Structure 1
């Protein structure tokens, strides 16, 4: 959980956080066990007031440049102002299933669907 903690720490330091949730979704993808390569970040901050979705993402990319240049392969971002967060009913969309390598690896696909290989 070294990468996950680094992401949490950097975002907490860079933004005024009303809510921060960093989820390691690597287990949902074709990577070795205990990987830290795929993350979903939900961040609610007044720092996003007046910023477009693109500008919000750019802010995150700057803060996490080191992680994105190294161990992090995928980063799903759900970025809200406090008002936007309330309007969502305080819920984050579910992440889609992996469409990458597991599609080509029948054994991995069976494991992800709960089957046996």
Structure 2
């Protein structure tokens, strides 16, 4: 399973989002710190979930980062998170 697919699965199970996009932006970062020739190092997550209602932006981002802790420790170098709280 690709890293992207693992991220989608984990976020879907944890937050039951109404909208979820996981975009592999690794190609934009070739040659940068943390990049690998095979990619799957830089991702952008766009997520909308009622689970984030009432949480600060920092708490929302921490929740995503905590959920993906294993991936961040295993080679995901950068993760941009865009959160939209949804009802």
TM over 0.5: yes
Q: Would you say the 8 A contact 1:27–1:33 is kept in 2?
A: no
Q: CA shift at 1:33, angstroms?
A: 4.1
Structure 1 position 71 matched with structure 2 position 82 = no
RMSD of aligned alpha carbons: 1.4
Structure 1 position 15 matched with structure 2 position 19 = no
Q: Which runs of 5+ in 2 are unaligned?
A: none
Bigger radius of gyration among the two: 1
**Paired position in structure 1 for 2:42:** 38
**Paired position in structure 2 for 1:27:** 27
Point out the structure with the larger strand share. 2
Q: CA shift at 1:15, angstroms?
A: 0.3
Q: Which runs of 5+ in 1 are unaligned?
A: 84-117
Could you tell me the TM-score, scaled by structure 2's length?
0.88
Aligned residue pairs total: 83
